[in-house]
Amino acid sequence: MKKIVNSNLIRLFSFMWKDGGTPLLGISYIVALIILSSQQFLFNFVGALGLKIVTDSILAKDLHGLFKGLIFVAKWFGILLIIIPIFGFIYECCIIKTTMIIKENLFKKVLSLSLDYFEKKHSGDFMSRINNDVAIAEGAYSWQIMMLVMAFISGIGSASVIFYVNKMLFLYGLVIGLLHFTFNVAFVKPLKNVSDKIQSKLSEVVQRFSDIVSGAFVIRVFMIGEIIFKKFMQANLAVYRLSLKRVKYNSILAAYNYTAGWLIFFGQIVIGGYLVMKNDLTFGNLMISVNMMGSLVWLFGSVGQFLTNLQSSLAGAQRIFEVLDIDKKYLDDTEIEYNCVPMVTEINQNSSSICIEFKEVSFSYSETKEVLNDITFTVPKCAKVAFVGESGGGKSTIFKLIMGFYKPQKGEILIFGRPISCYTVKELRSLFAYVPQDCYLFNGSIYENIRYGKLNATEKEVIEAAKKANIHDFIMSLPEGYNTKVGDRGLTLSGGQRQKIAIARAILKDAPILLLDEPTSSLDSESELEVMKALNALIEGKTTLIIAHRLSTIKDADIIYFIEDGKIIEKGNHNELLRIKGKYANLYLKQFATKYYF
């Protein structure tokens, strides 16, 4: 536990020095931390000295001494009142900057992760870590560390002053403080346990919220709102019950601390008063000791709680570090894994008549099930090649391998005659334009969304691409035209309009290979026709790989591969496949009959 506290704390502080931080930030933070943590002791000390001067002067009927005490207090409080806000401001600036740096590092890391990682994790988990855990971790380097340092400076400083004033009162403070510490520490573990449980349930609550946003459409169509709500309420109620438990512990502790504080105070007055009566202590020194005892008792009473709070915050930091430390194998930088020196020569797209070649490729996501089984095929340059077959056959997996998201366990994939392992990720991805089933539109304008295809495209190029994709007239009919903002996930546009924007984006990219993953599957026949027109503009002169369930869209393909259980079981063009009366013909006739029937 100690090691985790130490290493996570040091790592949190390290963001002030490196990975975006600077020595100036680190030094400013430490100086501000020390000054702010000393403020309580300094105020108490100045106040206590002032009180001593004033009470001793009152008892001696010394008016001059009374004024001296007043001036002393006013001078030092004035100085502190100027210094503390300045360093408070510097401290807050350091905290805000550090949190920004941590978020920046997290964002960069999540951006660099491979598709594989996202396919296995719930997006709500990332959201929870970025929102909740960053805020929790911030507690560690903002107020928790300050409270801890403050308790130590104040407690040890006060103990020294009391020791100097009177040994008996010091002994009383020490014994009573240790008893106080023991009682408070008894609550630390149960409080920590309950806080940890609340944290993990809160993450579940965030995930449920993420479900109702991302799955808004499905929830409504399937009318599963009630069941999703029940699941949310399970987590929400758990947070409520655990929070009540925490409140119960905190209430008992607060009542004890309040009572104990007064009893300690009275005990001190009684012992101190006795010493004053015996002339072993001046009344002024009793005042100093009364003022200082509060800090000593505070140190003993709260250090356990402060350490626990710090530990909880560091658990939040640990969850952030888990993301930052995700293994290299999950980084979207396959060349690290492929262990192949990238070629320095330009990719020669004209050197071969074959665009893509799979040579006895086998692949599985896990050890239990082989998804592609010794698959061999070619895609000639500028051809339109379709992949059809039953769901789960491995069609999308072929696309993922081509784009380098995964590497095959066996066999070789060549693109323009060059092994995929010898491409850098940048080289490889520049070869493809991709139109998925359901296009993701980023928060922002339609113009920005199309321009993601080519970041340095001119306005003319963007408009040209939209015209080719047959979406320009629609965009111009919107009140704000190309500047129209698309909502989160592009929900304000129809499926067909979103697809056409994705096609315009792909046209703008002007890549030699097109990957179309069932681009019309979610559309009605009218929109399908429209999108197919747009696709024809995109396909012209390119090598096109298309996954299709609706066979009407790929009748004109040069080659059709029928995939089943990770194997190619039929190959040919539409007419050839119909002639052999195999699986393709069967599927086509089924779809044709359905269409005819309806």
Ligand X SMILES: Nc1ncnc2c1ncn2[C@@H]1O[C@H](COP(=O)(O)OP(=O)(O)OP(=O)(O)O)[C@@H](O)[C@H]1O
Which residues make up the interface to ligand X (CB under 6 A)? 119, 365, 371, 391-397
CB distance 528 to 497 below 8 Å: no
At closest approach, how far in Å is the CB of 496 from ligand X? 20
At closest approach, how far in Å is the CB of 508 from ligand X? 26
Name every residue whose Cβ is closer than 8 Å to that of residue 470 and which is 6 or more positions away in sequence. 500, 530, 533, 534, 537
Closer residue to ligand X (CB): 301 or 394:
394
Closer residue to ligand X (CB): 43 or 405:
405
At closest approach, how far in Å is the CB of 434 from ligand X? 14
Residue 435 to residue 500: CA distance in whole angstroms: 9
DSSP of 494-553, one letter per residue?
A: -HHHHHHHHHHHHHHHT-SEEEEESTTTTS-HHHHHHHHHHHHHHHTTSEEEEE-SSGGG
At closest approach, how far in Å is the CB of 547 from ligand X? 6
CB distance 201 to 239 below 8 Å: yes
Residue 425 to residue 410: CA distance in whole angstroms: 20
Closer residue to ligand X (CB): 163 or 405:
405
* Token representation of residue 597: 């029937």
Residue 73 to residue 86: CA distance in whole angstroms: 20
Length of the chain: 598
At closest approach, how far in Å is the CB of 545 from ligand X? 12
Adjacent-strand bridge partners of 113:
331
Closer residue to ligand X (CB): 298 or 562:
562
DSSP of 81-140, one letter per residue?
A: HHHHHHHHHHHHHHHHHHHHHHHHHHHHHHHHB-HHHHHHS-HHHHHHIIIIIHHHHHHI
Among 374, 360, 352, CA closest to 418: 352
Residue 249 to residue 305: CA distance in whole angstroms: 12
Closer residue to ligand X (CB): 44 or 397:
397
At closest approach, how far in Å is the CB of 420 from ligand X? 17
Output phi, psi for 166, to 5 deg.
-160, 125
Closer residue to ligand X (CB): 16 or 523:
523
Name every residue whose Cβ is closer than 8 Å to that of residue 436 and which is 6 or more positions away in sequence. 502, 517, 519
At closest approach, how far in Å is the CB of 129 from ligand X? 21
Closer residue to ligand X (CB): 291 or 396:
396
At closest approach, how far in Å is the CB of 150 from ligand X? 50
Q: What is the DSSP letter of 331?
A: B
Closer residue to ligand X (CB): 85 or 392:
392
Output phi, psi for 413, to 5 deg.
-115, 130
CB distance 296 to 173 below 8 Å: yes
* Token representation of residue 586: 């069967």
Adjacent-strand bridge partners of 517:
547
Residue 132 to residue 204: CA distance in whole angstroms: 11
Closer residue to ligand X (CB): 197 or 567:
567
At closest approach, how far in Å is the CB of 448 from ligand X? 29
Residue 147 to residue 378: CA distance in whole angstroms: 67
At closest approach, how far in Å is the CB of 369 from ligand X? 7
At closest approach, how far in Å is the CB of 125 from ligand X? 16
At closest approach, how far in Å is the CB of 479 from ligand X? 38
User: Residues of 386-405 as b/e, b for ≥16 C-beta within 10 angstroms?
Assistant: bbbbeeebbbbbbbbbbbbb
CB distance 466 to 445 below 8 Å: no
Task: Please compute, for residue 597, the number of CA atoms within 13 A of its CA located in the half-sphere on the CB side.
Answer: 6
Closer residue to ligand X (CB): 147 or 554:
554
At closest approach, how far in Å is the CB of 373 from ligand X? 11
